[in-house]
């Protein structure tokens, strides 16, 4: 199955050059954590995750055509 992945802020560097998003092929039953592994994002990394525009967790099971957004924690002041 295919999912559309957008990585934000410092994670964007993990996408192919000049891309804001990409479609990847993953196995049926895969989770957001599997997508994180695909990009070599540390399992200990604190992430903000959205699937189809809604907050999600690393163990969220994905479906064909889902849109996954992964953000590093954001700080500011």
Instruction: Report the predicted TM-score, pTM, of the whole model to 2 decimal places.
Output: 0.91
Domain span at residue 8 reads: 2-71
Banded pLDDT at 17 (limits 50, 70, 90):
confident
Residue 36 CA from chain centroid, whole number? 6
Q: Would 30 be classed as within a structural domain?
A: yes
Q: How many domains does the chain have?
A: 1
Instruction: Decide: 41 and 47 in contact? Cβ < 8 Å.
Output: yes
In angstroms, the CA 57 to CA 7 distance is 15
CATH number of the domain where residue 18 is located? 3.10.20.30
Instruction: Quick: pLDDT tens for 23-58.
Output: 999 999 999 999 999 999 999 999 999 999 999 999
CA 18, 33, 71, 56 torsion: positive or negative? positive
Instruction: Please report which residue ranges of 1-77 form alpha helices under DSSP H.
Output: 32-38
């Amino acid at each position: 199955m295919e999912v559309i992945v957008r990585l934000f802020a410092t994670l964007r560097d993990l996408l192919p050059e000049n891309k804001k998003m990409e479609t990847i092929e993953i196995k049926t039953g895969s989770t957001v954590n599997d997508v994180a592994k695909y990009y070599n994002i540390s399992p200990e990394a604190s992430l903000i995750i959205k699937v189809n525009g809604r907050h999600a967790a690393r163990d969220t099971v994905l479906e064909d055509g889902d849109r996954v957004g992964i953000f590093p924690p954001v700080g500011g002041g």
